[in-house]
Chains A and B, each alone.
Chain A
Amino acid sequence: MDGPNSSGYGMAVSASSGSTLIEPREDIREAAMRPVFDKGRWWKFIVGGLSAVVLLGIIAWAVQLADGLGVAGYNNRAFWAVYEADLVAFIGVSYGGAVVSAILRLTKASWRAPLTRIAEATALVTLPIGMLFIVPHLGEPSRIWELVWPPYWNLSSPILWDFIAVSTYLLATAVFFYLPLIPDAKIALERISPEDHSLKARTLRVLYRSVAGRYSGSYSDRRLLHGSIGLVAIMIIPMAVSVHSVLSFAFASSSRAGYLETIFPVYFVVAALYSGVALVVISAALLRKAYHLERYITSRHFVRLGFIIAAMGAAYLYLTFTEYLIDGYSSTRDEAAWVRQILIGRYWIPFWFYFVAAGVLPLVIIATKRFRNTKGVVVASSFIVFAMWIKRLVIVIPPATEALVKSPLKVATTTGAGHLATTASAWGTYHFTWVPISITLAATAAIPLLLLVLFKFVPILPISEMEEMAEVDEVIEAAQVAMERPGSWGGRLSTLHRGSAMTRARVYEQSRRQEQ
């Protein structure tokens, strides 16, 4: 049965979306395109508000450009602090796309389907924001071009490796976003009424045509597409692991206690996966609410993501515990001092906040049946994203502020007058000022801002993928009924892989042939 073929655009199109292979689902298509055609005024208000926050951040950065990094609270002891933590945090939260889209795809978890577009979009949006943090981090951002100028390159530098790795990952994320968009762009193209000649419609048509290209929905096209997406999914996983490992090398390349940790690469990757999935949960929850996608993104999705979060959270807690236990047990004076400062010293508040909010709480929420629902998981995720940012600060700041010429373990000494006097050797301090806070808030605001803007152009659900999944469900149902009939091909279903698109296509063809 053909779905409503609303386009009437030429032969090439009619052979595709009303494809003989996959049935179009009007409900999915309408829901996916809802944000594009939505005319709610709330969008303008929210985008306006977020833009104001972003603008504040830009102003703060301009102030920093004029006055130097000193206005951001930095000093010779706290030479690395909030911007470096932001770099790690924001690049880290982009890993949700890798997990939800790539890993779940390769493990054939078909329930992920409605989330992939949102996950990939979150990754695509947060990664450039994370990369942009290098600009406030640098003392001389006007010379940032030197990073892309090979004659100046120092190939031993971890920062250069970072730059190469993150750029590659950005390309991979972009390609991974683009490829599943191709069939969806074709579908979206048809959803634009041909009589619509507004600027928006014209822009969308141009956009969809350029993305969709000559995609026809035929078997060979699908095979090509699915093969490519599978290939990129396979590539993106080791890339994700290596990118955050390389990011950790920037810290681990020094000899400072607290930075020179062999666990850092694993630590950073797990942290990224953890906070990334949490961010995907938050974006999915917010977008679902805004565009009423409850039918497609159900509590089942959130609970399953919650399980993933719990697994990652437990892993991260384990790594944290390992690091501090080993360093605190039989360590040099440097490491002992550092562990002490984090657990019971100057930095105990942010560390234990992490422990409660992103260590224990999410596990408790997921473990308790009562809280294991959409709301619980979203609450846990909100805590996770914030607490993991705090944890990144705990990772970055204490080793930087450590005195390398030995200092007494106590922070301050009392003078004769009874005042606490900090000696020059005390743990250096980093003080937050409005500048880095504004810039961090701006970056945080930029994520929903860019997502909202992006989904004005891009279907929020992966239409093609979801239709294929729905098809498979029906086929399997039909096949299960058919299994009762003798001589049916039901036996072959035992090897049916739900998630494989090629198998789905084959099964579908075969079932059609059988029925004829």
Chain B
Amino acid sequence: MKKVLVPKIFVSVAMLVGLSTAAVWWLFPGMADAATVSNSSVAQPSLTVQASEVPGKAVATVSAVLTPLYSPTGASMVPPGAKAYFYVHLTQFQSSPLLLLGSSPLNSGGAAQISYQPTWKGQQQVVVEVENSAGKSLYQGSTSFVATRFVAPFKGTVEAIRPDGGIGRAVVVALLTIVALVWIALLATAVRVNLGMGMNASQKTASV
């Protein structure tokens, strides 16, 4: 009798475990999802960044989208309070530091967009970073585009603003001309006296 009882208990316990697992599985799908995410092959969301210049304007728009937006279970991948920060690499400096262009919260579609005015022509390497409400950095993405228009808030070299700034070269020319004339007059006087002397040496002076 004992030989038949042990296999019977085994089978019933196994069936019990199996059935309860299936029941739990069916009843609590979230648990299943979590379990799946931790070790399954469902893709991590990544940030797709697109940037381009608005045609005809010195404005560029940068948009960032989290893809995929939803988990296989349909849950949104957008963390609550997520914010996207947009940067551009500064090309003027060797360390290429990042300049913050702006920020925008991710909408429910997992997208954020800003527009900005590039301040130089050429490559604009844009970097976007998504942080959650605690400030923890979650996702990054970057792209680059070429800006053909830019704004320049500062003007270039200032013209000298002096009261006599407009007189300039004319005065210089006039003064140098006077100096040259003086030199010529002095030298000519000396030469003229030298050459003009003794012209009447052979004649007695008429007056005496």
Contact = CB atoms under 8 A, between A and B. Distances in A.
Given A220-B199, A228-B189, A232-B189, A171 B205 contact: no
A16 B201 contact: yes
22 contacts: A12-B198, A16-B201, A155-B172, A171-B186, A171-B187, A172-B186, A175-B186, A175-B187, A213-B194, A213-B198, A214-B199, A214-B201, A215-B197, A216-B200, A218-B198, A218-B205, A220-B200, A224-B192, A224-B196, A224-B197, A228-B189, A228-B192
Given A155-B176, A175-B190, A219 B198 contact: no
Interface residues of A, number: 34
B160 to A, nearest CB: 10
A11 B207 CA distance: 19
B204 interface: yes
Contacts of A220: 199-200, 205
Interface of B: 172, 176, 179, 182-183, 185-187, 189-190, 192-194, 196-208
A434 to B, nearest CB: 39
Contacts of B189: 175, 179, 228, 231-232
Interface string A203-242: 0000000000111101111001100100110010001000
A146 interface: no
Contacts of B176: 155, 164
Contacts, number: 89
B201 A235 contact: no
A178 interface: yes
Contacts of B196: 221, 224
B208 A215 contact: no
Contacts of A509: 207-208
A160 to B, nearest CB: 11
A485 B130 CA distance: 124
A15 B204 contact: yes
Contacts of A155: 172, 176
Contact of B208 (A20, A182, A225, A232): A20
A489 B183 CA distance: 44
Given A21-B208, A155-B176, A182 B186 contact: no
A215 B187 CA distance: 18
A168 interface: yes
A333 interface: no
Given A20-B208, A21-B208, A168-B183, A221 B197 contact: yes
B11 to A, nearest CB: 97
Q: Which 4 A-B pairs have the closest CB atoms?
A: A214-B198, A216-B201, A218-B200, A20-B208
A431 interface: no
A16 B202 CA distance: 10
Contact of A20 (B172, B198, B199, B205): B205
A235 B197 contact: no
B179 A168 contact: yes
B193 A179 contact: yes
A410 to B, nearest CB: 36
B113 to A, nearest CB: 49
